[in-house]
Structure 1
Amino acid sequence: ATARLLEPWLGSGLNIDELPVPRLIIVTIDEASPPDFAAMRAAITPKIPTAALDDHRTWVDRLVAMAHTTVTIGIAVLALMLSATVLTVVFATRGAMAGNGHIIEVLHFVGAEARFIAREFRWHFLVTGMKGAAAGGALAIVVFIVFSWWSSRNMATPEADQATALFGNFAIGSAGYFGVGLMVLVIGALTAATSHATVVAYLSDIDVRQPDAG
């Protein structure tokens, strides 16, 4: 293998024994029961002083730490996005109720149940949330398709190698598309639930203020 690696520069028919080429031995370990690297290093060094045992632990630990940091940042961004969605729906629902406050109060006072009024708002914001989430999901799919196409067109280039090393493979597969669809449903359900809770809280506040108004 060493001769084949050196062949483009030194030609064929090399006698590796006559060249001061370091020997590289790659050993695959059992991850379930890894060996004691410290004991191996202590046993090898006295017998072969010029030998070096590299278990890539430092390099792997850095990659693992970077991956964990990236996952944590992604979860934090998702939590912020969901929080922003909830606050946006709350303010939008309150704005809609403020614009139709007199109608809501009349309906409530003449006997319309809170569930009936909340159901109308819930359905409206469910449809609106599903439309927005579907638009965002479609845009995300388009972004993945474009980057996947770019990666396939620039395969084996430094740019593609760097992008793959940083972000991984842009092809998300059927599971990824299913995840996008599931996220659309989650956003729609979250929007509907938030609007429902906001309307119920608003009507409860009306009930609290009703004796004062009378």
Structure 2
Amino acid sequence: MSRTDDQHGPLVDLGRERPQVPARARNLSPIVPRASIAGRALVAVVAIMTFLASITTGTVLLISASASEWQSEVASEITIQVRPAPGRDIDRDTAAVTEAMRAQSGIIEIRPFTKDESAKLLEPWLGSGLSLDDLPVPRVIVARVQPGTALDLAALRRRVSAASPSASVDDHRAWIERMRSMTGATVIAGIGILALVIVATIISVSFATRGAMAANRPIVEVLHFVGAGDRYIANRFLRHFLRLGLQGGVIGGGIAMLMFGFSESIAGWFSGTPVGDQFVALLGTFSLRPSGYLVLAAQAVLIAAITAWASRRTLFATLDDIE
């Protein structure tokens, strides 16, 4: 018997009594810790970025939808102003212009405003109780155009001028152009904010990936020593960061969707107030369409994919430095 046997006793072969460890048990412990402080911080950053991106996209969609409704409503109406002129009866001129408009093809509804109704249009600027008898307040006639009809504005203007020389036709083209400019500027601003959010996400993910690689550098070196390739190591990190990106995207996008879902109810609380009326005039009912929610969900998945892509690029660059 050897000295080792004298000190520790004889060796015993356990045989079948040896503890059997499943082959998959060696893979249960991930290379990158899942519940690390850096991982939670990255989830929070991705969630905040996704929330900001979703709010921006949702607001752009709301403004675009409201602007489209404004443009369709304004484009479907034509306003005629009949101004007082010396030696002419404004009531007779208004009736003559109304009859001339009824003879125009493509116009389905005509509404001449009375003197009192025309005066009420000026109350927001001049106040109520003011006598407008001595002021040259024009009469307003609103005509609704049949949708899809190409109206001959030149012929309409000639017909209106023949009925009353002091009448003028306004087809609201200037307002429509302003709405289009405002909508375009809003979309461009939204795209700019989304670009900044994506850049900030890429930078955050890159720093988080380098930090995770630095913290697990000994493990990566051992994996290299036993023959693991860069692709094998990168896939382990890639799954980790893709999972974190999906978690952050679901949290941020979900909170944004809930906010838009409850926004219509919240807007109802302020209905009838000046602030509520302004928001309704600007953003409509402040509720997204179903297609808008699909856009927000796709955006959350896109940010998660960007997170995985940024981590992959950083991973291979870091692995080259380790080697």
For the aligned pair, the TM-score class normalised by the smaller chain equals 0.7 to 0.9
Code of the residue aligned with 1:196 in structure 2: it is: R
Question: Match of 2:307?
Answer: 191
Higher RCO structure, 1 or 2 (CA under 8 Å, sep 6+): 2
1: distance between equivalents of 2:217 and 2:164?
86
The worse-fitting range, judged by mean Cα deviation, of 179-188 and 132-141 is: 179-188
Deviation by residue 1:50-90 (Cα, 9 ceiling, x = unmatched): 10101111112111111111111111111111111111111
**1:33 maps onto 2:150 in alignment:** yes
One-letter code of the match for 1:110?
V
More helix by share: 1
Match of 2:227 in 1: 111
User: Judging changes above 3 Å, is the alpha-carbon distance between structure 1 residues 109 and 168 closer, same or farther for their aligned structure 2 residues?
Assistant: farther
- Corresponding position: 1:202 with 2:318: yes
- 1:80 and 1:42 map into 2 onto residues whose CA distance is 53
**Partner Cα distance (1:149, 1:170) in 2:** 9
Question: 1:114, 1:49 → 2: CA distance?
Answer: 84
Q: Which residue number in structure 1 is paired with residue 280 of structure 2?
A: 164
Taking structure 2 as the reference length, the TM-score comes to 0.53
Amino acid in the other structure paired with 1:160:
G
- Following superposition, the deviation at residue 99 of structure 1 comes to 1.6
Residue identity matched to 1:24: I
Stretch deviating more after TM superposition (41-50 or 59-68): 41-50
Structure 1 counterpart SS, 2:165: coil
Cα gap change, 1:26 to 1:163, in 2 (>3 Å):
same
Query: Are residue 101 (structure 1) and residue 225 (structure 2) matched?
Result: no
> What's the counterpart of residue 63 of structure 1?
179
Q: Which has the larger radius of gyration?
A: 2
Task: Give the aligned residue type for 1:99.
Answer: A
1:50 corresponds in structure 2 to: 166
Mark the runs of 5 or more structure 1 residues left unpaired by the alignment: 10-19, 208-214
- Give TM-score, length-normalised by structure 1: 0.77
Q: CA deviation at 1:164?
A: 2.0
Identity fraction in percent: 38
How far did 1:39 drift? 5.9
Q: Could you say if the C-alpha distance between residues 25 and 199 of structure 1 is closer, same or farther in structure 2, counting changes exceeding 3 Å? A: closer
Report the counterpart of residue 24 of structure 1 in structure 2.
141
Larger mean CA deviation between 157-166 and 78-87 belongs to: 157-166
Equivalent pairs, count = 194
- How far, CA to CA, are the matches of 1:122 and 1:142 in structure 2? 30
Q: Distance in 2 between matches of 1:68 and 1:183?
A: 21
Compute the displacement of 1:25 (Å).
3.9
Which position in structure 2 is the counterpart of 1:135?
251
Local SS of the residue matching 2:228 = coil
**Structure 1 residues 40 and 183 mapped into 2: Cα distance closer, same or farther (>3 Å)?**
same
Q: Give the match for residue 210 of structure 1.
A: none
Of 183-192 and 61-70, deviating more is 183-192
Q: Give yes or no for the alignment of 1:173 onto 2:289.
A: yes
Name the aligned partner's letter for residue 209 of structure 2.
T
User: CA–CA distance in 1 between the matches of 2:155 and 2:318?
Assistant: 70
Give distance in 1, aligned partners of 2:216 and 2:142. 77
How far does residue 110 in structure 1 lie from its aligned partner after superposition?
3.0
- In structure 2, how many angstroms separate the alpha carbons of the residues matched to 1:39 and 1:156? 42
Give the superposition deviation at 1:165.
2.3
